Amino acid sequence: MKINWKILLFAGLVDRLGQSSIIIEANESSLSAGQLKLLISQAYTEHTSLIQASFIAANGKYCSDETIISSDMEIALLPPVSGGDGTMTSLYQLTEDELNADEIAKKIICKEHGASLVFIGTTREFTEGKRTTYLHYEAYKPMAIATLEQIGEEIKEKYNGAKCAISHRLGKVDLAETSVIIAVSAPHRDVCYEASRYAIERLKQIVPIWKKEIWEDGSEWKGHQLGPWNPVSNE
Protein backbone atom coordinates (compact mmCIF):
# COMPACT_ATOMS: atom_id res chain seq x y z
CA MET A 1 0.00 0.00 0.00
CA LYS A 2 1.38 3.39 -1.00
CA ILE A 3 1.64 6.13 1.61
CA ASN A 4 0.89 9.73 0.63
CA TRP A 5 3.32 12.33 1.94
CA LYS A 6 2.10 15.93 1.79
CA ILE A 7 4.88 18.52 1.49
CA LEU A 8 4.31 22.26 1.85
CA LEU A 9 6.22 24.55 -0.53
CA PHE A 10 7.29 28.18 -0.24
CA ALA A 11 8.67 31.11 -2.25
CA GLY A 12 10.65 30.04 -5.34
CA LEU A 13 9.55 26.42 -5.01
CA VAL A 14 5.93 27.51 -5.47
CA ASP A 15 6.91 29.42 -8.61
CA ARG A 16 8.89 26.50 -10.02
CA LEU A 17 6.44 23.70 -9.21
CA GLY A 18 3.31 25.78 -9.74
CA GLN A 19 1.58 24.84 -6.47
CA SER A 20 1.86 25.47 -2.73
CA SER A 21 2.01 21.80 -1.77
CA ILE A 22 2.72 18.45 -3.40
CA ILE A 23 1.92 14.81 -2.69
CA ILE A 24 4.70 12.24 -2.91
CA GLU A 25 3.94 8.50 -2.80
CA ALA A 26 6.24 6.21 -0.85
CA ASN A 27 6.21 2.61 0.32
CA GLU A 28 6.92 3.58 3.93
CA SER A 29 5.31 5.87 6.48
CA SER A 30 8.75 6.67 7.95
CA LEU A 31 11.73 7.92 5.96
CA SER A 32 14.87 9.91 6.52
CA ALA A 33 14.67 13.52 5.37
CA GLY A 34 17.33 12.71 2.78
CA GLN A 35 15.27 9.83 1.38
CA LEU A 36 12.18 12.04 1.11
CA LYS A 37 14.13 14.78 -0.65
CA LEU A 38 15.44 12.17 -3.12
CA LEU A 39 11.86 11.06 -3.86
CA ILE A 40 10.87 14.69 -4.46
CA SER A 41 13.85 15.14 -6.80
CA GLN A 42 12.88 12.01 -8.73
CA ALA A 43 9.32 13.29 -9.12
CA TYR A 44 10.46 16.75 -10.27
CA THR A 45 13.72 16.05 -12.06
CA GLU A 46 13.76 19.41 -13.87
CA HIS A 47 14.05 21.15 -10.49
CA THR A 48 16.58 18.82 -8.85
CA SER A 49 19.21 21.49 -8.20
CA LEU A 50 16.80 23.73 -6.25
CA ILE A 51 15.31 20.78 -4.37
CA GLN A 52 18.75 19.54 -3.32
CA ALA A 53 19.68 23.04 -2.11
CA SER A 54 16.54 23.12 0.04
CA PHE A 55 15.92 21.68 3.51
CA ILE A 56 13.18 19.48 4.89
CA ALA A 57 11.39 20.73 8.00
CA ALA A 58 9.12 18.52 10.11
CA ASN A 59 6.71 19.94 12.69
CA GLY A 60 8.49 23.29 12.53
CA LYS A 61 12.08 22.06 12.93
CA TYR A 62 14.86 21.76 10.37
CA CYS A 63 15.92 18.20 9.63
CA SER A 64 19.34 16.89 8.70
CA ASP A 65 19.37 14.28 5.93
CA GLU A 66 19.64 11.56 8.61
CA THR A 67 16.60 12.71 10.62
CA ILE A 68 13.77 10.15 10.59
CA ILE A 69 10.36 11.67 9.91
CA SER A 70 6.87 10.25 9.44
CA SER A 71 4.07 10.96 6.99
CA ASP A 72 1.72 12.23 9.71
CA MET A 73 4.00 15.18 10.53
CA GLU A 74 3.65 18.63 8.98
CA ILE A 75 6.38 18.44 6.34
CA ALA A 76 7.75 21.44 4.47
CA LEU A 77 10.43 21.81 1.81
CA LEU A 78 12.17 25.13 2.40
CA PRO A 79 14.31 26.85 -0.24
CA PRO A 80 17.37 28.82 0.92
CA VAL A 81 16.14 31.73 3.02
CA SER A 82 16.88 35.45 2.55
CA GLY A 83 17.35 37.53 4.94
CA GLY A 84 3.31 39.18 8.42
CA ASP A 85 -0.21 39.27 8.89
CA GLY A 86 -0.06 39.83 12.62
CA THR A 87 1.89 36.76 13.78
CA MET A 88 3.78 37.72 16.93
CA THR A 89 5.01 36.95 20.40
CA SER A 90 6.00 39.55 22.96
CA LEU A 91 9.44 40.07 21.39
CA TYR A 92 9.11 38.60 17.89
CA GLN A 93 6.69 39.69 15.19
CA LEU A 94 5.77 39.09 11.55
CA THR A 95 3.41 41.68 10.15
CA GLU A 96 2.20 43.34 6.96
CA ASP A 97 1.89 46.64 8.84
CA GLU A 98 4.57 49.32 8.95
CA LEU A 99 7.18 48.87 11.69
CA ASN A 100 7.81 51.39 14.47
CA ALA A 101 11.40 51.46 15.77
CA ASP A 102 10.53 53.25 19.01
CA GLU A 103 7.88 50.69 19.94
CA ILE A 104 10.23 47.80 19.26
CA ALA A 105 13.10 49.41 21.18
CA LYS A 106 10.87 49.77 24.25
CA LYS A 107 10.60 45.98 24.41
CA ILE A 108 14.29 45.49 25.24
CA ILE A 109 15.27 48.53 27.33
CA CYS A 110 15.64 47.61 31.00
CA LYS A 111 17.33 48.99 34.10
CA GLU A 112 19.99 46.24 34.15
CA HIS A 113 21.36 47.24 30.73
CA GLY A 114 23.36 50.36 29.94
CA ALA A 115 23.36 50.08 26.15
CA SER A 116 20.73 49.54 23.47
CA LEU A 117 20.95 49.44 19.70
CA VAL A 118 18.32 49.38 16.93
CA PHE A 119 19.16 48.00 13.49
CA ILE A 120 16.76 49.01 10.70
CA GLY A 121 16.84 47.27 7.32
CA THR A 122 15.20 49.14 4.43
CA THR A 123 14.53 48.52 0.74
CA ARG A 124 17.27 50.01 -1.42
CA GLU A 125 16.68 51.05 -5.01
CA PHE A 126 19.72 49.58 -6.79
CA THR A 127 21.39 46.18 -6.30
CA GLU A 128 24.25 45.17 -8.59
CA GLY A 129 23.07 47.65 -11.21
CA LYS A 130 19.43 46.52 -11.21
CA ARG A 131 16.71 48.95 -10.17
CA THR A 132 14.33 47.47 -7.62
CA THR A 133 10.76 48.79 -7.63
CA TYR A 134 9.69 46.98 -4.45
CA LEU A 135 10.28 43.80 -2.41
CA HIS A 136 7.85 41.05 -1.45
CA TYR A 137 8.45 38.89 1.64
CA GLU A 138 6.97 35.49 2.43
CA ALA A 139 7.43 33.30 5.51
CA TYR A 140 6.67 29.87 6.92
CA LYS A 141 5.11 31.69 9.86
CA PRO A 142 5.03 29.24 12.81
CA MET A 143 8.59 28.14 12.14
CA ALA A 144 9.78 31.70 11.49
CA ILE A 145 8.55 32.81 14.92
CA ALA A 146 10.10 29.75 16.55
CA THR A 147 13.49 30.40 14.95
CA LEU A 148 13.36 34.09 15.87
CA GLU A 149 12.79 32.98 19.47
CA GLN A 150 15.74 30.60 19.10
CA ILE A 151 17.96 33.50 18.02
CA GLY A 152 16.88 35.45 21.10
CA GLU A 153 17.85 32.55 23.37
CA GLU A 154 21.20 32.15 21.61
CA ILE A 155 21.93 35.87 22.09
CA LYS A 156 20.99 35.70 25.76
CA GLU A 157 23.44 32.82 26.30
CA LYS A 158 26.30 34.16 24.16
CA TYR A 159 26.22 37.80 25.21
CA ASN A 160 25.87 38.00 28.97
CA GLY A 161 22.09 38.15 29.15
CA ALA A 162 21.60 40.50 26.20
CA LYS A 163 17.95 40.99 25.25
CA CYS A 164 16.65 40.95 21.68
CA ALA A 165 13.42 41.86 19.85
CA ILE A 166 12.91 41.28 16.12
CA SER A 167 10.07 42.43 13.87
CA HIS A 168 9.93 41.56 10.16
CA ARG A 169 7.58 42.74 7.44
CA LEU A 170 5.76 40.36 5.13
CA GLY A 171 4.09 41.16 1.84
CA LYS A 172 4.96 44.23 -0.22
CA VAL A 173 7.68 46.58 1.04
CA ASP A 174 8.27 49.70 -1.06
CA LEU A 175 11.54 51.59 -1.62
CA ALA A 176 12.96 53.17 1.55
CA GLU A 177 10.40 51.36 3.70
CA THR A 178 11.52 49.27 6.66
CA SER A 179 11.58 45.50 6.20
CA VAL A 180 13.19 44.42 9.49
CA ILE A 181 13.99 45.94 12.86
CA ILE A 182 16.30 44.26 15.37
CA ALA A 183 16.55 45.86 18.81
CA VAL A 184 19.19 44.66 21.28
CA SER A 185 20.12 45.75 24.80
CA ALA A 186 23.07 44.63 26.90
CA PRO A 187 25.02 45.72 29.97
CA HIS A 188 27.75 47.30 27.80
CA ARG A 189 27.94 48.80 24.28
CA ASP A 190 30.60 46.44 22.85
CA VAL A 191 28.43 43.42 23.63
CA CYS A 192 25.42 45.25 22.19
CA TYR A 193 27.14 45.79 18.83
CA GLU A 194 28.27 42.15 18.66
CA ALA A 195 24.83 40.81 19.56
CA SER A 196 23.12 42.98 16.95
CA ARG A 197 25.45 41.74 14.22
CA TYR A 198 24.94 38.15 15.35
CA ALA A 199 21.15 38.58 15.22
CA ILE A 200 20.98 39.77 11.60
CA GLU A 201 23.46 37.17 10.34
CA ARG A 202 21.65 34.38 12.18
CA LEU A 203 18.29 35.61 10.88
CA LYS A 204 19.57 35.27 7.31
CA GLN A 205 20.89 31.80 8.11
CA ILE A 206 17.97 30.00 9.77
CA VAL A 207 14.70 31.96 9.67
CA PRO A 208 12.36 30.78 6.87
CA ILE A 209 11.60 34.19 5.37
CA TRP A 210 12.05 34.69 1.62
CA LYS A 211 12.53 37.89 -0.33
CA LYS A 212 11.36 38.46 -3.90
CA GLU A 213 12.96 41.38 -5.70
CA ILE A 214 10.66 43.02 -8.24
CA TRP A 215 12.52 44.98 -10.91
CA GLU A 216 11.39 47.15 -13.79
CA ASP A 217 11.88 44.21 -16.17
CA GLY A 218 11.29 41.10 -14.07
CA SER A 219 11.60 39.53 -10.63
CA GLU A 220 13.60 36.93 -8.72
CA TRP A 221 13.39 35.14 -5.38
CA LYS A 222 16.55 35.86 -3.40
CA GLY A 223 17.84 33.14 -1.11
CA HIS A 224 20.75 32.72 1.24
CA GLN A 225 23.78 34.72 0.10
CA LEU A 226 26.36 33.74 2.71
CA GLY A 227 27.71 30.56 1.10
CA PRO A 228 26.35 26.99 1.39
CA TRP A 229 23.05 27.07 3.25
CA ASN A 230 23.00 24.73 6.25
CA PRO A 231 20.47 25.77 8.92
CA VAL A 232 21.08 22.62 10.99
CA SER A 233 24.69 23.62 11.53
CA ASN A 234 25.62 25.20 14.86
CA GLU A 235 28.31 27.32 13.21
Instruction: Dump pLDDT digits (tens) for 55-82.
Output: 999 999 999 999 999 999 999 999 887 6
Read off the pLDDT band of 161 (50, 70, 90): very high
Give span(s): CATH 3.90.1170.40, the chain: 87-222
Q: pLDDT digits over 89-123, tens only?
A: 589 999 999 999 999 999 999 999 999 999 999 99
What is the mean pLDDT of the segment spanning 156-164?
A: 94
CA dihedral of residues 196, 201, 207, 211 (deg, nearest 10): 110
The CATH code that applies to domain 3-78 is 3.10.20.30
| Beta strand residue intervals within 27-153, DSSP E | 30-32, 55-58, 61-62, 68-70, 75-78, 87-88, 92-95, 115-122, 126-127, 130-139
Q: Is 87-222 CATH 1.10.1660.10?
A: no
Residue pair 180/157 in contact (Cβ under 8 Å)? The answer is no
Q: Is 199 helix (H, G, I), strand (E, B) or coil?
A: helix
Give span(s): CATH 3.10.20.30, the chain: 3-78
Read off the pLDDT band of 216 (50, 70, 90): confident
pLDDT of residue 25: 95
Distance CA 58, CA 48 (A): 20
> In this structure, are strands 55-58 and 61-62 parallel, antiparallel, or unpaired?
antiparallel
